[in-house]
Amino acid sequence: MSLPLAREDGIIQKINGQFSNNIKQTRIIRRSRPEITVGPEKIREVATFLRNELGFDHANGVSGVDYNREGRFEIVYHISSMDKKDLRDLVLALKESTPRTAPKVPSLVSVWPGVENFERETFEMFGILFEGHPHLEKLFLTDNWDGPPPLRKDIRFPTD
């Protein structure tokens, strides 16, 4: 099992080597899907390291997940690389958690400019504030929905 996952192990070791105490958890779901969890206060440094040293030059997407039974929101950045041909199929999930009552995390627009629209959408769907985001306002819901952020688990709809 270790030989086919040598590439993913190598990446995780380099990250652990740089940020030894600040990585909360690492996991390899399967080949090409490693995952690391950091705290919100360190995520900008980790992201800059990933971009500059390991070559992850763009983000595929940003997802917010509402773990309401655990009282937290989780924000997952899926990042990948285009310039490094051997990393093109690898998608690294960079996760961070923030408490559900006062959700606030730093924005990574300065690291990967493509996450701007994704972070705006996560803000309007979950109510998570991204500090340092240039235009943190509604993207899709401007005239569509006036209530609380709709993708939270406590917002129920008639057929539920």
Q: Does 127 bind another protein (CB under 8 A)?
A: yes
- Sketch the per residue contact string, 57 through 76, with another protein: x for CB under 8 A, - otherwise: xxxxx-x-xx---------x
φ, ψ of residue 23 to 5 degrees: the values are -90, 120
CA proximity to 35, closest of 90, 87, 84: 90
Report d(CA 52, CA 45) in Å as an integer: 11
Report d(CA 68, CA 99) in Å as an integer: 10
Report d(CA 130, CA 144) in Å as an integer: 22
When binding is defined by CB under 8 A, the residue of 118, 119, 134, 154 that contacts another protein is 118
**Side-chain half-sphere exposure of 118, counting CA atoms within 13 A:** 19
Considering beta carbons, is residue 23 or 139 the nearer one to another protein?
139
Strands 92-99 and 72-80: antiparallel
User: Total binding residues for another protein by CB under 8 A?
Assistant: 48
Q: Does 4 bind another protein (CB under 8 A)?
A: no
Q: Which range binds another protein by CB under 8 A, 9-17, 18-26, 37-45, 136-144?
A: 136-144
Considering beta carbons, is residue 18 or 60 the nearer one to another protein?
60
Residues at the site binding another protein, with contacts judged by CB under 8 A: 29-30, 32-33, 57-61, 63, 65-66, 76, 78, 82-83, 88-89, 91, 93, 112-118, 125, 127, 129, 136-145, 147, 150-151, 155, 157-160
